[in-house]
Amino acid sequence: MQVFRLVVLRPAFKAVYPALTSQFNVVLLSTSIVSAISANELTHEAEYINSLTYRSFEVYITVGVIYFVTAWAFSLVFARLRRVLFAYPDQA
Protein backbone atom coordinates (compact mmCIF):
# COMPACT_ATOMS: atom_id res chain seq x y z
CA MET A 1 0.00 0.00 0.00
CA GLN A 2 2.86 2.38 0.75
CA VAL A 3 4.36 1.68 -2.68
CA PHE A 4 1.07 2.57 -4.35
CA ARG A 5 0.73 5.75 -2.29
CA LEU A 6 4.28 7.00 -2.86
CA VAL A 7 5.14 5.63 -6.30
CA VAL A 8 1.86 5.70 -8.20
CA LEU A 9 -0.65 7.96 -6.49
CA ARG A 10 1.57 10.88 -5.57
CA PRO A 11 2.99 11.54 -9.09
CA ALA A 12 -0.47 11.04 -10.60
CA PHE A 13 -2.02 13.55 -8.21
CA LYS A 14 0.88 15.93 -8.80
CA ALA A 15 0.22 15.77 -12.55
CA VAL A 16 -3.50 16.56 -12.30
CA TYR A 17 -3.32 19.06 -9.42
CA PRO A 18 -3.01 22.22 -11.60
CA ALA A 19 -6.04 21.23 -13.66
CA LEU A 20 -8.03 20.47 -10.52
CA THR A 21 -7.27 23.84 -8.96
CA SER A 22 -8.10 25.66 -12.19
CA GLN A 23 -11.39 23.82 -12.48
CA PHE A 24 -12.19 24.63 -8.84
CA ASN A 25 -11.71 28.34 -9.52
CA VAL A 26 -14.00 28.14 -12.56
CA VAL A 27 -16.66 26.32 -10.57
CA LEU A 28 -16.27 28.75 -7.68
CA LEU A 29 -16.84 31.81 -9.83
CA SER A 30 -19.71 30.31 -11.82
CA THR A 31 -21.71 28.94 -8.89
CA SER A 32 -22.63 30.29 -5.50
CA ILE A 33 -19.93 31.73 -3.30
CA VAL A 34 -20.58 31.04 0.36
CA SER A 35 -24.12 30.06 -0.68
CA ALA A 36 -25.16 33.69 -0.80
CA ILE A 37 -23.46 35.54 -3.64
CA SER A 38 -22.94 34.06 -7.06
CA ALA A 39 -21.16 35.56 -10.01
CA ASN A 40 -24.44 35.89 -11.90
CA GLU A 41 -26.14 37.60 -8.97
CA LEU A 42 -23.21 39.97 -8.52
CA THR A 43 -23.31 40.87 -12.20
CA HIS A 44 -27.06 41.36 -12.06
CA GLU A 45 -26.72 43.67 -9.07
CA ALA A 46 -24.00 45.58 -10.90
CA GLU A 47 -26.35 46.07 -13.85
CA TYR A 48 -29.09 47.24 -11.47
CA ILE A 49 -26.79 49.75 -9.74
CA ASN A 50 -25.56 50.89 -13.15
CA SER A 51 -29.14 51.54 -14.28
CA LEU A 52 -29.74 53.68 -11.18
CA THR A 53 -26.49 55.64 -11.09
CA TYR A 54 -25.15 55.48 -14.68
CA ARG A 55 -21.67 54.94 -13.23
CA SER A 56 -20.84 51.78 -15.09
CA PHE A 57 -17.06 52.09 -14.89
CA GLU A 58 -16.95 52.21 -11.09
CA VAL A 59 -19.55 49.48 -10.70
CA TYR A 60 -17.91 47.00 -13.05
CA ILE A 61 -14.42 47.74 -11.74
CA THR A 62 -15.70 46.89 -8.25
CA VAL A 63 -17.25 43.65 -9.49
CA GLY A 64 -14.01 42.76 -11.28
CA VAL A 65 -12.00 43.42 -8.12
CA ILE A 66 -14.33 41.18 -6.11
CA TYR A 67 -13.93 38.38 -8.69
CA PHE A 68 -10.17 38.85 -8.76
CA VAL A 69 -9.73 38.86 -4.99
CA THR A 70 -11.85 35.73 -4.63
CA ALA A 71 -9.93 33.84 -7.31
CA TRP A 72 -6.58 35.11 -6.04
CA ALA A 73 -7.30 34.08 -2.46
CA PHE A 74 -8.15 30.55 -3.53
CA SER A 75 -5.09 30.43 -5.77
CA LEU A 76 -2.94 31.32 -2.77
CA VAL A 77 -4.60 28.60 -0.70
CA PHE A 78 -4.01 26.03 -3.43
CA ALA A 79 -0.39 27.12 -3.91
CA ARG A 80 0.24 26.69 -0.20
CA LEU A 81 -1.52 23.34 -0.25
CA ARG A 82 0.64 22.24 -3.19
CA ARG A 83 3.81 23.14 -1.31
CA VAL A 84 2.65 21.14 1.69
CA LEU A 85 1.38 18.13 -0.22
CA PHE A 86 4.25 17.75 -2.64
CA ALA A 87 7.17 18.62 -0.41
CA TYR A 88 9.82 15.96 -0.47
CA PRO A 89 10.10 14.01 2.78
CA ASP A 90 13.34 14.35 4.70
CA GLN A 91 15.93 11.79 3.69
CA ALA A 92 17.22 11.15 7.22
Per-residue pLDDT tens over the stretch 23-71:
887 887 676 555 456 667 778 889 999 999 999 999 999 988 988 888 8
pLDDT (0 to 100) of residue 33: 55
Quote the Cα angle for 12-79-83, to 5°.
Answer: 65
Domain hosting 67: range is: 23-85
Please choose, from the candidates 17, 19, 32, 7, the residue with its C-alpha nearest in 3D space to the C-alpha of residue 82.
17
Instruction: With respect to residue 90, please indicate whether it lies within any of the assigned structural domains.
Output: no
Domain count, the chain: 1
Instruction: With respect to residue 38, please indicate whether it lies within any of the assigned structural domains.
Output: yes
Q: How confident is the model at residue 89 (pLDDT cuts 50, 70, 90)?
A: low
Q: Is the pLDDT of residue 90 over 60?
A: no
Which helix (H) or strand (E) segment holds residue 35: the answer is none
Q: Are 60 and 46 in contact (CB under 8 A)?
A: yes
